[in-house]
Amino acid sequence: MSETIEIPNKSHFNLNEVSSITGIKPYVLRFWETEFQTLLSPIQNESGQKMYSGKDIEAFLYIKKLLFDEKIPIAEAKLRLKEGTIKEEIIPLPKVSRAELSEKEISNIQLAKYEARKLLQATEALRSKYNF
């Protein structure tokens, strides 16, 4: 997967859009979603349709790289992801300056950062409690 894939600058994508961007069939994306649950975090819109973020698309592209390009088995891909190697290899999202964002978008980002910190703290507390 040597070509660079441009991820459109929008907040969420439906399954067909993700399929079009990644070149991966929808049924494969759904299967990977079940196999790599910890890496992917789609949300449901008001009508119950799953929507994927740019990070989810990056994750799908990374999984594609591992399975199709490097030809490693799913179990090994899961192990690599568990070890955290994805951080160095994932394709970065386009940089957006603060001036390009609306006040609502800035507020949403700040809220997301706050919620992510809370989730990280809760995860660390559970790790400590259960020694893993």
The whole-model pTM stands at: 0.60
Write the CA distances from 66 to 44, 89, 122, integer angstroms: 27, 10, 30
What pLDDT score was predicted for residue 50? Answer: 92
Instruction: Quickly tell me which residue has 């994932």 as its tokens.
Output: 90
Question: How far, in Å, are 51, 93, 107 from residue 104 at the CA level?
Answer: 20, 20, 5
Residue 51's pLDDT is what?
Answer: 94
Q: What residues does each domain of the chain span?
A: 1-93, 96-132
Rounded to the nearest angstrom, the gap between the alpha carbon of residue 112 and the centroid of all alpha carbons in its chain is 15
pLDDT reported for residue 94: 66
pLDDT at 9: 83
The CATH architecture annotation of domain 1-93 reads Orthogonal Bundle (1.10)
Whole-number pLDDT of residue 84: 60
- The mean pLDDT values, 10 residues at a time, for the chain of 132 residues are 72 93 94 89 89 91 91 87 56 71 85 84 80 64
Token look-up 């690599």 returns 80
- Which two structure tokens, joined as six digits, stand for 15? 């399954």
CB 24 within 8 A of CB 31: no
How many Å apart are CA 96 and CA 101, to the nearest integer? 8
Residue whose token pair is 């008001």: 46
How many Cβ atoms are within 10 Å of 67's Cβ, its own excluded?
18
Q: Is the dihedral angle over the CA atoms 72, 77, 80, 85 positive or is it negative? A: positive
